[in-house]
């Protein structure tokens, strides 16, 4: 196995079942109603453990990186040498703009409009040019996150990537982390709450997710995310607009009021079908639970498979009126 470079550490403030995908997934026809399609990549399972593909990935990565950088340069986006002339909100010092002025918010909105028709590769390249090394990414190892990680490996694999490990993640999710590291050389950092699951449940007299799921999410995910992103200028996420009503207006680039930094959604315009087509085409590793009917995967106590006709996130927090952990819901909502 090739040597794996560890990602940059976060800056501190002191300065099985058979694959179930139908052929409709690749013919453009929805399996579910609307754009919230349930698509499992039938062809993608062939990527697991493919030594030929892994051996060629290093050469392909170099060629792809050069191509992406050339396209970004030809588009007129700022080069590394132009950083000193960029407004602070478009630089690694963006975290100092908390809260940003209206002019800075408008500038981000303008950048988002300019990037609306850009490819995911170009959006990530734009983010790297403006914010690296104070650019980070959070991932729960969903299919969107795996696609972004595959692109980061070509564009800038030293971006610090973290996962909010609540202690309740599926074993398959944690195993996917190892497969991503083996394939792309990106080691996703597991960021955990101060209290273990056992300590947390003992403190509260039992599983909090059963009685107060919002509190559990706030204390084991959101609080950890606040700690991790402190000092960063921008973070990338795998949101898609068609995932849920809360995400329908997700900008490509915008200010995240909850966490006090710029938020970038490279796949905002993508559909589920597009994500799974990319996974199948490039044999990107993904969570095998998707082949068992899990369309959206979070903590095991709060996730179930979906059935035909349900929306993509219907399996999250079943039985209660909740489909978001709160990471991507602004306070005023």
Residue 9 or residue 161, greater confidence: 161
Q: Are 286 and 143 in contact (CB under 8 A)?
A: yes
- Give the per-residue pLDDT at 246: 73
- Give the per-residue pLDDT at 313: 56
- Give the per-residue pLDDT at 317: 54
Say yes or no to pLDDT of 53 above 50. no
Mean pLDDT of 102-124: 97
- Give the per-residue pLDDT at 303: 81
Q: Is the pTM of this model over 0.85?
A: no
Within 10 angstroms of residue 108's Cβ, the number of other Cβ atoms is: 24
DSSP designation for 302: G
Residue 56 or residue 284, greater confidence: 284
Residue 35 or residue 93, greater confidence: 93
Within 10 angstroms of residue 56's Cβ, the number of other Cβ atoms is: 11
Say yes or no to pLDDT of 42 above 90. no
Q: Are 315 and 309 in contact (CB under 8 A)?
A: no
The crossing angle, in degrees rounded to 10, of helices 143-155 and 272-282 is: 50
What are 40's two structure tokens? Answer: 């499992």
Mean pLDDT of 51-64: 44
What is the chain's mean pLDDT, rounded? 78
Residue 163 or residue 65, greater confidence: 163
- Give the per-residue pLDDT at 315: 58
Residue 324 CA: distances (Å) to CA of 45, 206, 247: 28, 22, 10
- Give the per-residue pLDDT at 26: 33
- Give the per-residue pLDDT at 300: 83
- pLDDT category at 84 given cuts 50, 70, 90 is low
Say yes or no to pLDDT of 151 above 90. yes
Active site residue ranges: 325
Mean pLDDT of 97-121: 97
Residue in 267, 224, 258, 244 with CA at minimum distance from that of residue 323: 244
Q: Where are the domains of the chain?
A: 23-302
| Out of 110-114, 168-172, 327-331, least confident range | 327-331
pLDDT tens digits along 225-282? 999 999 999 999 999 998 767 778 899 999 999 999 999 999 999 999 999 999 999 9
Among the four given CATH numbers 1.10.10.10, 3.40.50.1980, 3.40.630.30, 3.40.50.620, the one describing domain 23-302: 3.40.50.620
- pLDDT category at 189 given cuts 50, 70, 90 is very high
Mean pLDDT of 128-138: 98
């Amino acid at each position: 196995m090739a040597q794996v470079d560890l990602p940059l550490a976060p800056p501190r403030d002191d300065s099985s079942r058979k694959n179930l995908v139908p052929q409709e997934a690749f013919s453009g026809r929805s399996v579910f109603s609307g754009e919230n399609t349930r698509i499992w990549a039938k062809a993608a399972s062939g990527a697991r453990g493919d030594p030929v593909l892994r051996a060629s990935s290093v050469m392909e990565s170099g060629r792809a990186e050069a191509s992406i950088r050339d396209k970004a340069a030809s588009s007129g986006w700022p080069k590394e040498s132009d950083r000193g002339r960029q407004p602070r909100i478009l630089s690694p010092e963006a975290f100092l703009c908390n809260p940003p002025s209206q002019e800075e918010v408008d500038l981000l909105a303008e950048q988002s409009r300019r990037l609306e028709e850009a490819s995911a590769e170009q959006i990530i390249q734009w983010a790297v040019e403006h914010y690296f090394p104070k650019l980070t990414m959070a991932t729960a190892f969903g299919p969107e996150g795996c696609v972004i990680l595959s692109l980061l490996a070509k564009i800038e694999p030293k971006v610090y990537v973290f996962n909010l490990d609540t202690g309740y993640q599926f074993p398959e999710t944690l195993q996917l982390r190892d497969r991503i590291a083996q394939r792309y050389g990106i080691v996703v950092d597991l960021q955990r709450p101060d209290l273990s699951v056992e300590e947390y449940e003992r403190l509260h007299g039992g599983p909090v997710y059963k009685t107060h799921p919002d509190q559990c999410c706030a204390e084991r995910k959101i609080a950890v995310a606040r700690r991790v992103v402190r000092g960063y200028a921008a973070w990338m996420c795998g949101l898609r607009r068609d995932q849920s009503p809360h995400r329908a207006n997700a900008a490509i680039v915008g200010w995240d009021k909850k966490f006090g930094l710029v938020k970038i959604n490279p796949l905002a315009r993508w559909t589920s079908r597009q994500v799974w087509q990319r996974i199948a085409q490039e044999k990107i590793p993904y969570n095998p639970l998707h082949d068992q009917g899990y369309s959206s995967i979070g903590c095991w106590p709060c996730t179930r498979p979906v059935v035909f006709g349900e929306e993509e996130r219907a399996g999250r927090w079943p039985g209660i009126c909740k489909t978001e952990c709160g990471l991507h819901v602004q306070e005023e909502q």
